[in-house]
Amino acid sequence: MHALEVTLEGLGLAGGVAVSRSGFLVLTYPGSNQPSVRSGEDLRYQLERARRGFDLMENAAHLMNGEYGAGDDDDPESLFDLVLHAQTSFQESCVSFCERADACFRLALDFGRGAALGDDMERFLNGITLDRATALLDGASPANASERDFLVRANDPLPVLP
């Protein structure tokens, strides 16, 4: 509904066409194929939530070092290009919903980010790359306090049994 309104406004048709504030929901009970139609649903509140979500996304886009919000933003190809080359912060949850998760995972792996092995690994490595962590585990000397701390934490914390 919100997307319809934004599109109509973009096309200059907002004055001539009104978007209905009511709709219908089609629901089913679990395990049943029998649809239950609820007509006359007041969708004003869902509309408001969607508007807030879009606003948040736009605010986030404005934070991209001025790359959005100026210049050729209306050109779909430029926007597409902007999204493709934007900096990403790959997380474990991306795998479950994002089309770009595969590419971002590959980038995270290339940069040796712990996130490639999970969010907990990213926190555990605390900025140390996977290659460096592997080298430290294989006996390389720690170069700074962060690496020394990592080695203390990465050693097997379990006791040796008699």
Partner 1 sequence: MTLSLETIRRLHAWRDGKPTPRGNVLNVHITEPEDLLILTFLRMGGESRPWGVAIGTLAEGPQFFTAPEARNRELVGNMMVEVGHLLLSHFDHPDYSDIGPTEYRESIRQVWLPGGTHIEMLQNIAAAYARSRWQRDDIDTLRSLGNLCNALFIENQRPGQQTVISATDALRDCYVFPTANIRQGHLGHLLGWLKPAHSRDEQLDGARTAERKSVATVLNPDVERDVLQPLVERWGLAQKANDENAMATAAQGIHDALTSELRARWQETADAVEFLNADSRKRNVGLRDLVQDSNKYMFKSWGERALREAAGEVPYWPNVFSDNNTRVAGREFQKRNASAQKARYLLVHGDRELQREELAAGHGVIGTVTAVDVKHKRWTVTWTYPELPTLKEADNLAMAGVPSLVLAVVSVDLDSKTLELKPKWSREKNVSGQRYFAADDGRWKGRHLVLLDDAAHGLTERKAVTTGKKFGNDDIVNLLGQNARRHAAYDFEGRVVVDAPEEADVS
Chain contacts with partner 1 (rule: CB under 8 A):
28, 30-33, 42, 44-46, 48-49, 92-93, 95-96, 116-121, 124, 130, 133-134, 137-138, 153-154, 156-159, 161-162
Residue number, 74 or 110, with CB nearest to partner 1: 110
Q: Least distance to partner 1 from the beta carbon of 124, Å?
A: 5
Q: Least distance to partner 1 from the beta carbon of 70, Å?
A: 32
Residue number, 48 or 149, with CB nearest to partner 1: 48
Largest CA distance in the chain: 84
133 closest CA partner among 117, 22, 119, 94: 117
Output DSSP code: residue 154: H
Q: Least distance to partner 1 from the beta carbon of 2, Å?
A: 13
Residue number, 44 or 62, with CB nearest to partner 1: 44
Look at residue 44 and give its three-state secondary structure: helix
Residue number, 42 or 149, with CB nearest to partner 1: 42
- Give DSSP secondary structure letters for 59-128: HHHHTTTTSSSSSSTT-HHHHHHHHHTS-----GGGGGT-TTHHHHHHHHHHTT-GGGG-HHHHHHHTT-
Q: Please tell me the total number of residues recorded for the chain in this structure.
A: 162
Q: Least distance to partner 1 from the beta carbon of 20, Å?
A: 16
